[in-house]
Structure 1
Amino acid sequence: MKKVLFLLGHLTDLDIEWMIHNGSKKNLKNHEELISKGEEIENIYIILSGKLSITDGKQEIAAIGPGEIVGEMSFLESRAPSVSVIAAEETVVYSISRAVMNEKLDTDLEFRSNFYYSLALFLSNRLRKTTNKLGFESPDEEDMIDTNVLDGVAQAGARFSQILNKFSEV
């Protein structure tokens, strides 16, 4: 859940409303592939319920659940993903297309700034966790959250609830 806080905590209420009205809900069946390794993707996703498995094709790398974001690296780099993402159970995701996001990013500089800043925080946190797992960081810092993120945590939680309520059939 912490991952979505990076994104939603730095956007405005109007940005969240815009996202709700310009995205959609996607239901995945158990074992259904959301993202295929090496194939271009056109969406960025937030998991609303269920669980996804990140795999390199041979083994599971990670399992992620509600509040996690997927497709952000391919969104940023416009490169095909280096992993596959498969539903480990029935899962519901929020989906917004790259084309719609790019149009908003091109026309709304405040949204653009907040969106990219939040993704930078999100990816920085992911890298810290990875280096910690490899034994290069203090275990005391494993679950620390930057004060820049903490400032928006309550609001981000409320915004995630707002997205869940919009797609209340979850």
Structure 2
Amino acid sequence: MKRVLFILGVLDDDDIDWLISTGKRQEIPQNTVLIHEGKPIDAIYFLLDGTLTVQVAALKDQIIAHLSSGEVVGEMSFVDTRLPSATVKAITPSLVLAIPKDRLIEKLEQDVWFAARFYRALAILLSTRLRGTVQKIHDAAHWRPLDLSDETFNLDMAANMSLAAIRFDWLLRRLRDGAIET
């Protein structure tokens, strides 16, 4: 299950259109660091294609997660305004939609309904990720990314998932067809 579906399932079509028109399509070459642990970031990223790794210096740069299409990156630092707690690196050529932090903050301050939907979507995403992490701690000696299944979310969330999947496909088609500048 793509984690971006948690966000796209809560946002409406106008919100998605704003993300696409505001965001910047960025191609990330293999072995390029997208986010440096402990250094400020200026965007939140939607991983559209490729594979990223997450590494933590405290664990001697051990890879703690692999991220694939549909993941959201940089959301924790956006929400709590702290520096990133991990390094995120492209291990394959990757494509992201980068939403500039300053533009997102401006939109959240000006559009209360967008803000409500956006923060609710992030809360669902982060809650699901935390529940998965807690479960993995119980199940294994080290953390692995959660494989979300239908049992992971309730019926209210499930109702949004098919619409979210359609929106994700729509977003990918628009960005791959060059609907916005790179």
> Normalising TM by the smaller chain, what interval?
over 0.9
Q: Does 1:32 align with 2:61?
A: no
Kindly provide the amino acid, as one letter, of the partner of residue 33 in structure 1: V
The percentage of counterpart residues that share the same residue type is 37
Mapped to 1, the partners of 2:35 and 2:81 lie a distance apart of: 14
Deviating runs (4+, > 4 A) in structure 1? Answer: none
SS of aligned partner of 1:81: coil
Kindly provide the amino acid, as one letter, of the partner of residue 5 in structure 1: L
TM-score (norm 2): 0.87
Residue among 143, 168, 172 paired with 1:160: 168
Structure 2 segments unaligned to the other structure (5+ residues): 140-147
Mapped to 2, the partners of 1:39 and 1:106 lie a distance apart of: 25
Change (3 A) 1:20 1:2: same
What residue in structure 2 maps to residue 139 of structure 1? none
Does the 8 A contact of 1:53 with 1:87 survive in 2?
A: yes
State which drifts further: 59-68 or 144-153: 144-153
Mapped to 1, the partners of 2:54 and 2:98 lie a distance apart of: 17
Kindly provide the amino acid, as one letter, of the partner of residue 38 in structure 1: G
Does the 8 A contact of 2:2 with 2:69 survive in 1?
A: no
Q: Deviations over 1:122-144 (max 9, x none)?
A: 001001100111117xxxxx732
Aligned length: 165
Mapped to 1, the partners of 2:138 and 2:97 lie a distance apart of: 34
Kindly provide the amino acid, as one letter, of the partner of residue 100 in structure 1: R
SS of aligned partner of 1:7: helix
Mapped to 1, the partners of 2:98 and 2:174 lie a distance apart of: 13
How much has 1:81 moved relative to structure 2? 0.2
How much has 1:147 moved relative to structure 2? 2.2
Kindly provide the amino acid, as one letter, of the partner of residue 97 in structure 2: Y
Q: Deviations over 1:60-81 (max 9, x none)?
A: 0100100000000000011110
Mapped to 2, the partners of 1:149 and 1:122 lie a distance apart of: 11
TM-score (norm 1): 0.93
Q: What is the root-mean-square deviation in Å for CA atoms of aligned residues?
A: 1.4
Q: Does 1:97 align with 2:95?
A: no
How much has 1:169 moved relative to structure 2? 5.4
Mapped to 2, the partners of 1:2 and 1:167 lie a distance apart of: 17
Question: Equivalences for 1:1-170 in 2 at 5 Å?
Answer: 1-57=1-57, 58-135=61-138, 143=149, 144-168=152-176
Does the 8 A contact of 2:24 with 2:98 survive in 1?
A: yes
Does the 8 A contact of 2:20 with 2:171 survive in 1?
A: yes
Mapped to 2, the partners of 1:63 and 1:146 lie a distance apart of: 25
How much has 1:145 moved relative to structure 2? 1.5
Mapped to 2, the partners of 1:148 and 1:82 lie a distance apart of: 32
